[in-house]
């Protein structure tokens, strides 16, 4: 991260943080407290914080006696129904240490593709933030279908960041940054800074993580980062274990420079409709 990037993080007034299933479930369930510590620190310095959290299906799986992520839609929906309740409870239980109240927001792809639904979601999020409540956003897996779902919450986080005109989007995973190829391969080099519009030619990104409980990999983070950066939101990609350092503006992760001319211009949404970002 350059000095300019660090100052953007430290001065960001509205921040979206996305965390994946593998970072907060199973053996990593204890990382919820670490994540909440960092979010609370940022919240208490006056910033508005939105958390986009995967994990409902992964957390619900043990209660359905499942050893691996289900492949059929009905079982995914059942696991999500059980897990979403537990996921938000775990976050609220940890947030109670800081007297911060969480608000659950469940969205489907259709909600952000439909202008009326999108407007409702935007108003609800703005009101929650105005009340100093921390929205916890997830895909509504209980009603989403294979045809309309986001597919991963990286894209959802990018669209939420665009919806609320966030200054910063932080995409968290199990890896400390993006690399020119999967980091376990010889010759992999960390990518520190990505200029606005840089197509990153010659890079090889993995499509999914190794945990088996998540759906996103480095490629989904690059795609999401480009969506948000094109809409004027700066993006930082790093690991969940480095979230505190990331939100303090320390030199971690991979930085995506936002487009300098997007705010106040027209944004194209997935359904082909448009809206003005002010």
Q: What is the CATH number of the domain that holds 234?
A: 3.40.1160.10
Residue 10 Cα to chain centre, angstroms: 19
Q: Two tokens at 127?
A: 């009101």
Please write the tens of the pLDDT for every residue from 172-200: 998 999 998 888 888 889 999 999 888 77
Q: Two tokens at 150?
A: 């986001």
Q: Tell me the pTM.
A: 0.88
What contacts 35, CB < 8 A, 6 or more positions away? 17, 19, 23, 24, 51, 172, 240, 243
Q: Report the pLDDT value the prediction gives residue 150, as an integer from 0 to 100.
A: 66
Is 198 among the annotated ligand-binding positions? no
Please write the tens of the pLDDT for every residue from 206-246: 655 444 444 457 888 999 999 999 999 999 999 999 999 99
d(CA 254, CA 238): 7
**Exposed/middle/buried for 117, CB within 10 Å: 0-12, 13-18, 19+?**
middle
Q: Report the pLDDT value the prediction gives residue 213, as an integer from 0 to 100.
A: 47
Q: Report the pLDDT value the prediction gives residue 104, as an integer from 0 to 100.
A: 96
SS3 state at 103: strand
SS3 state at 220: helix
Q: Report the pLDDT value the prediction gives residue 17, as an integer from 0 to 100.
A: 98
- Structural domain total, the chain: 1
Is 167 among the annotated ligand-binding positions? no
Sheet order of strands, 193-194 included: 102-107, 134-139, 48-53, 14-19, 168-173, 234-239, 254-256, 193-194
β-strand partners of 262: none
Is 174 among the annotated ligand-binding positions? yes
Q: Report the pLDDT value the prediction gives residue 149, as an integer from 0 to 100.
A: 60
Is 173 among the annotated ligand-binding positions? yes
Of 235, 173, 225, 237, the closest CA to residue 199 belongs to: 225
Give the structural domain span for 22.
3-276
17, 50 Cβ separation under 8 angstroms: yes
Is 153 among the annotated ligand-binding positions? yes
- Give the chain's residues under pLDDT 50: 147-148, 209-215, 264-266, 276-278
Is 120 among the annotated ligand-binding positions? no
Where do runs of H (alpha helix) occur along the chain? 3-11, 21-24, 31-44, 56-60, 73-95, 109-113, 115-130, 153-163, 218-230, 243-247
């Amino acid at each position: 991260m350059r000095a300019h990037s660090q100052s953007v993080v430290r001065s960001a007034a509205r921040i979206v943080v996305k965390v994946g299933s593998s970072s907060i479930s199973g053996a990593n369930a204890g990382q919820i407290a670490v994540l909440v510590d960092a979010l609370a620190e940022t919240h208490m310095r006056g910033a508005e914080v939105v958390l986009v959290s995967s994990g409902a299906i992964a957390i619900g799986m043990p209660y359905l006696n499942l050893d691996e992520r289900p492949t059929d839609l009905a079982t995914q929906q059942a696991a999500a129904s059980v897990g979403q309740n537990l996921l938000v409870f775990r976050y609220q239980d940890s947030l109670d240490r800081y007297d911060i109240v969480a608000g659950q927001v469940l969205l489907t792809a259709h909600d952000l593709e439909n202008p009326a639904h999108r407007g409702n979601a935007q108003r609800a999020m703005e009101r929650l933030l105005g009340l100093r409540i921390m929205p916890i956003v997830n895909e509504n897996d209980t009603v989403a279908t294979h045809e309309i779902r986001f597919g991963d919450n990286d894209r959802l986080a990018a669209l939420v960041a665009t919806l609320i005109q966030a200054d910063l989007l932080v995409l968290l995973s199990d890896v400390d940054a993006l690399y020119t190829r999967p980091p376990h391969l010889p010759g992999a080099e960390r990518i520190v800074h990505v200029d606005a519009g840089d197509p990153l030619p010659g890079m090889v990104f993995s499509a999914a993580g190794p945990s088996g409980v998540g759906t996103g990999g480095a490629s989904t983070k690059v795609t999401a980062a480009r969506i948000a950066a094109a809409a004027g939101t700066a993006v930082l990609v790093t690991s969940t274990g480095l979230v505190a350092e990331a939100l303090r503006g320390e030199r971690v992760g991979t930085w995506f420079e936002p487009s300098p001319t997007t705010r106040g211009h027209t944004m194209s949404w997935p359904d082909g409709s448009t809206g003005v970002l002010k």
